[in-house]
Chain A
Amino acid sequence: MSVFDNFFVIKISVKLLATYRKKLPEGTKGCTCQIEVPTHSVVRHIVEQYDLAFDETNVVLLNGRVTDPEQKLKNDDVVCVFPALAGG
């Protein structure tokens, strides 16, 4: 990767919880993995990258907060997805 590439790539974390954990790369410890994505990526792209939908069947959080699907990502952002489901 050239120095130049850093301008086009950002590093973010993806957290997949509950049953979506299995979609994380094998060998992932815990429920978080770090990935690099092109700058100008938005939250929806990440969700779709894991074959998930940004719709009412899922809860999608950006840094723990509710988010717009078209929200642009920046370095160190955390995108978290889990199925909408009752709990405890």
Chain B
Amino acid sequence: MNGWHGKILKINLTDQIVEQEEVNPGIAKDYLGGRGWAIKYLYEGMDPSADPLSPENILIFATGPLTGTPAPTGNRYMVVAKSPLTGALSNSNSGGEFPTWMKRTGFDLFIFTGKSSKPVYLWVNEDQVEIRSAEHLWGQDVHQTTDILLAETDPNAKVACIGPAGENLVLMAAIMNDKHRAAARSGVGAVMGSKNLKAVVVHGRKNPLMYDADAMQKLSIEIAKEVGVAVKAGSALREYGTAYVPQVTNELGILPTRNFQSGQFEGVDTIDGLTLKEKYLIRPKPCYRCPIACGRLTEVAEGSRYDGKGEGPEYESISSLGSACGIDNLAAITKANYVCNELGLDTITAGMTVAAAMEMYERSYIPEDDIGKPLRFGDADMLIELLEKIAYRDGFGDILAEGSYRLAEKYGHPEIAVTARKMEFPGYDPRGSQGMGLLYATASVGASHMAGDTAYVEVFGVPEKIDPLVTEGKPALLKRFGNAFVNIDATGLCVFLALRYVFDADINLWPTRLTKLMNLTTGANYTPESMLQAADRVFNLERMFLIRAGFTGKDDTLPPRMLHEPLPSGPAKGYVVKLDEMLPEFYQLQGWDKNGIPTPEKLAELGLSEIVN
């Protein structure tokens, strides 16, 4: 095959057996790759109602057909499993270098089943595949683990691993690759830990074959040049990373502040991209072959109590570890971000969970004895201390390790948790960005911005600016964004580049250029229509996974703060999420019945009748 290798590596951890499987070309095309192939294998391979931390869960690492090709930002992979945080799907994306090297092993997907009786890691050097003991690595953090593995495999290999958080089955544990990049959300690290799989190490030289290598090279250069021109003219992503965003969301009144009690943070000037650039930035750090380079290599100098060196923080980490916790000290936020990366924690859920605990402490819902000390908004030292305790499930950290939903429920105040499907919100308060409200309520992963980020339009004006406060048109907008994100996650590109450069620059998000990239790579004769239909197929199969896992339309909802507590100040003052105005239309556009279940006609239209029955 071209683009795809058409090969899957299946690792049965219970019996320590490794097998290869060829992929049927028709299936390859219909499900695109990456996130698409992964849901097909997950759906068919496990009982969706299984316990996510049991050996029945399946953990999938999935590259796309464009991963490892010349396509700019073709450097992504997806981690897919049943989520222990939400009980729904995990669809976590990451870049860096690991995904490209994984593709170069000659396999598109790694599928892990069962559970090893002892800690192990997987070492794949093309066809040489070994399950090795990881007993000497258990307990080591992400940096130590990575360094040891590079020393004992190949210094040019790439490593994805869990830290102590994943080992301890913390429900917000991430899978870290290249030390600083994270497939972070919804507890994929805990799934890896539950399988006693500490790390995956990859190396290889098998670049995917190209259907039309010359034309692919040309088109890739054309895109890279366009990005280059834009970067030269001044690119906020290159100059500030995503850290420029707090000022934008603050201006719109949707920067999560003190556990979403407000949408504007008085300390925004000290936690933004300019401060990061002036005080802590060493240089921008790109993922493999990325012309944008939004990553940040940073250092907080020795002498500061928050000293350290690493990557980030990104916007999401600044909002969750910063404004959401009432913390305006960027050195502390940067340190907290390093700690999360080293211990293998999702910065969003970790920060937002501590934020919920801070609010509950201040409202006297959590007795001080349980925590051991006061826990007030703005207390950066407590944040950092608690992150460590979460990763090791130490003391109060053991309760926080379950996320804010379970924390708030335990103390009898479920209304404090700002979650959807029990997953913490990212950095856009949906009361001032209605499309995001619909997204959080319906996304199969729970409250994620990476499942169809309408903030592009509502906040950033890409490809056009639409009023974030209106609900009209948002269901249709989210449907298009949802499909675009499936296309991006399935093919293996980075959203930051893809949404601007491989879809038509208008609100319809027609995947003209993405289709070209796919055809030059795979030769599979896609049309923009068939690309979108494939996205729809993947999206609906994911939905069916949730339905089979026991979710219903009733779960497509938001916490009371979002539905009943208006934002107290700022441009969105007085607004709640008007979910009722959007949800029925969204179901209808998706071809779902009034309970949110795909209709038999819809499933038949997508060729899914057989697989779901």
A42 beta carbon closer than 8 Å to chain B: no
B269 beta carbon closer than 8 Å to chain A: yes
* B484 shortest CB reach to chain A, Å: 12
B593 beta carbon closer than 8 Å to chain A: no
Residue in contact with A56 in the complex, picked from B251, B252, B461, CB distance below 8 Å: B461
Q: Contacts of A3 on B, CB cut-off 8 Å?
A: none
Task: Evaluate whether A59 and B461 lie within 8 angstroms (CB atoms) in the complex, with A83-B234, A86-B237, A86-B496 already known.
Answer: yes
A18–B462 touching, CB < 8 Å: no
A58–B247 touching, CB < 8 Å: no
* B556 shortest CB reach to chain A, Å: 25
A11 beta carbon closer than 8 Å to chain B: no
B455–A87 touching, CB < 8 Å: yes
Residue in contact with A17 in the complex, picked from B244, B315, B467, B468, CB distance below 8 Å: B244
Of the A-B pairs whose beta carbons lie under 8 Å apart in the complex, a sample of 6, sorted by A's number, is A18-B273, A31-B269, A56-B465, A64-B252, A87-B244, A88-B427
A15 beta carbon closer than 8 Å to chain B: yes
Residue in contact with B236 in the complex, picked from A65, A66, A80, A83, CB distance below 8 Å: A83
Interface flags, A1-35, vs B, CB<8A=1, else 0: 00000000000000101110100000001110000
B235–A87 touching, CB < 8 Å: no
Q: Contacts of A65 on B, CB cut-off 8 Å?
A: 467, 469, 571
A85–B235 touching, CB < 8 Å: yes
B464–A56 touching, CB < 8 Å: yes
Interface size on A, residues (CB 8 A): 24
* A59 shortest CB reach to chain B, Å: 4
A-side residues, CB < 8 A to B, are 15, 17-19, 21, 29-31, 56, 58-59, 61, 63-66, 80, 82-88
A66–B467 touching, CB < 8 Å: yes
Interface size on B, residues (CB 8 A): 42
Tell me the B352-384 residues at the A interface (CB within 8 Å). none
B23 beta carbon closer than 8 Å to chain A: no
Residue in contact with B240 in the complex, picked from A15, A18, A63, A64, CB distance below 8 Å: A18
* B280 shortest CB reach to chain A, Å: 17
B-side residues, CB < 8 A to A, are 234-237, 239-240, 242, 244-245, 247-248, 251-253, 269, 273-274, 314-316, 427, 449, 455-456, 459-469, 495-496, 499-500, 570-572
Q: Contacts of A56 on B, CB cut-off 8 Å?
A: 461, 463-465
A82 to B465, CA, bound (A): 12
B465–A15 touching, CB < 8 Å: no
* A35 shortest CB reach to chain B, Å: 17
* A80 shortest CB reach to chain B, Å: 5
A18–B465 touching, CB < 8 Å: no
Q: Contacts of A15 on B, CB cut-off 8 Å?
A: 247, 251
Q: Contacts of A86 on B, CB cut-off 8 Å?
A: 237, 456, 460, 462, 495-496, 499-500
